[in-house]
Amino acid sequence: MTPNRRRLLLIAIVLLILAAGAFLYWLFDGIASIDAVQARVAALGSWGPVGFILLYGIATIAGVPGGIFDVAGGALFGPIIGSVINLVGGTLGAALAFLVARYLAADWVRQRAGPRMQKVMRNVEKDGWQFVAFVRLVPVLPYTIVNYLLGLTRIPFWHYLLATLVFMAPSTVAYTWIGHAGSQALSGDTNNIRYALAMLAVIAILIFAPQFYKRWRKSDVMSDDEPPAAA
């Protein structure tokens, strides 16, 4: 990336930070309940989702876990539209963090990551988008850290972006449904609790499935290595 493009990227990020800060201040100024927040967001019309997406993207750069915004998006926009908004916001944040690590703050990210994690990232370059798909579908590593670390690799940006968009969808939808069900429960409607519980089960499967698979493979290998019993 040329110096001029780096400068433009830095300016764009600064402007996004300022816009997100202004939106956040306006959204919560004098607000004391979830219903009041929902009403204020609804009054913005189509600008409400745009502001939330920008806020999501900037918060991702700052290291805020995406699950917090997924839950908030479900509470503010509902399970369907909220899932779309959260997916766009999460993808935007992942893209910005990737670009920051690759073109603006590579030395800082390497210093924070340490040599061991850098070696891991170099070893996964051969898998390309498949590794991105795995860490998005199965969140074994923190979302915000992965965004920066993948920026240090030679994985093409568009491969990274597309894999993030597609394979981050299941966890995004799950957290969004949880946020929606939670806001409904606060209003006295508990009909969506069963959906929230189902989504919690999905998240649990995504998180713990790799561990069970590793244990199963380990036990399988150990059983193969055991000598046959004496006759």
Q: What is the pLDDT of residues 70-91, one digit of tens each?
A: 988 988 898 899 999 999 999 9
Give a yes or no: residue 185 inside a domain.
no
Give a yes or no: residue 197 inside a domain.
no
Give a yes or no: residue 10 inside a domain.
yes
Task: Say how far apart CA 135 and CA 167 lie, in whole Å.
Answer: 9
Contacts of 158 (CB under 8 A, 6+ apart): none
**Which of 18-27, 100-109, 181-190, 217-226 comes out lowest in average pLDDT?**
217-226
Tokens of 202: 């999905």
Give a yes or no: residue 208 inside a domain.
no
Give a yes or no: residue 30 inside a domain.
yes
Domain that holds residue 147: 3-176
Give a yes or no: residue 103 inside a domain.
yes
Tokens of 225: 């290595």
If we measure between CA atoms, which residue out of 55, 129, 63 comes closest to residue 92?
55
Please identify which residue in the block is written with the tokens 């850290």.
Answer: 145
pLDDT, position 90: 93
Give a yes or no: residue 20 inside a domain.
yes
Q: How many domains does the chain have?
A: 1
Task: Say how far apart CA 87 and CA 154 lie, in whole Å.
Answer: 24
Q: Around 51, how many Cα atoms within 13 Å sit in the side-chain half-sphere? A: 21
Task: Say how far apart CA 76 and CA 184 lie, in whole Å.
Answer: 11
Give a yes or no: residue 40 inside a domain.
yes
